[in-house]
Amino acid sequence: MDDTTLVATLRLVLVRELGAVRRSVEAYPDDASVRALPAGLPNAGGTLVLHVAGNLRHFLGTVLGGSGYTRDREAEFARRNVTRAELVAEVDAAIAAVERALVPSLDASRTYPESVGGRTLRTGDLLLHLASHLAFHLGQLDYHRRVVTGDSRGVSAIGLVELPAHA
């Protein structure tokens, strides 16, 4: 797979997963339920949403896209009274950051311009990590919503239909 195809596919996957995050937030019946923290769960749904949005807005939006967004990782885990509307706005901002940063001219084989966890990484490797990180937390969000609401229905997350068919 060449860099252009890799970047295009990762862009599609990240936007697809963020769309599922958005649908998950919208599936909570009220603002209180997205903030609920049942025993045994480490994070409320709203916390997970703030975290994945902040993560992508920083690593893609700021570092690759030059958006100027300033991440406050501690606040992602500390903020409590965030409404579903505010969470959807954060998701939409993350989608915009992904779309702005992951352009066909992005060279996935180059070194990512910022040290991550004290390590130097290839941009493509970090992009793959960001996609799996998002999918991991999307699963947590889906289970949180199901536990809190008692609604076992999914939100059509990570479907294969969005991926381009190979001829």
pTM: 0.93
Q: Which pLDDT band, with edges at 50, 70 and 90, does 18 fall under?
A: very high
Interval 38-54: pLDDT, tens: 999 999 999 999 999 99
Reported as a single tens digit per residue, the pLDDT across 50-91 is 999 999 999 999 999 999 999 999 999 999 899 999 999 999
pLDDT tens digits, one per residue of 100-150:
999 999 999 999 999 999 999 999 999 999 999 999 999 999 999 999 999
Pairwise CA distance, residues 54 & 72, whole Å: 8
Domain 3-153 fold is: Four Helix Bundle (Hemerythrin (Met), subunit A) (1.20.120)
| pLDDT value of residue 160 | 76
Amino acid letter, 145? R
Q: What is the domain partition of the chain in residue ranges?
A: 3-153
Q: What is the pLDDT of residue 167?
A: 67
- Give me the pLDDT at residue 23, please: 96
Considering only CA atoms, which of 101, 77, 102, 91 is closest in space to residue 17? 91
- Look at residue 70 in the predicted model and tell me its pLDDT: 94
pLDDT beyond 70 at 159 = yes
- Determine the pLDDT at residue 117: 92
86-105: pLDDT as tens digits = 999 999 999 999 999 999 99
Which two tokens mark 73? 């990782």
pLDDT of 157 > 90? The answer is no
Is the Cβ–Cβ distance between 46 and 87 less than 8 Å?
Answer: yes
Q: 10 Å Cβ neighbour count for 140?
A: 17
8 Å CB contact between 50 and 82:
yes
pLDDT greater than 70 at residue 34: yes
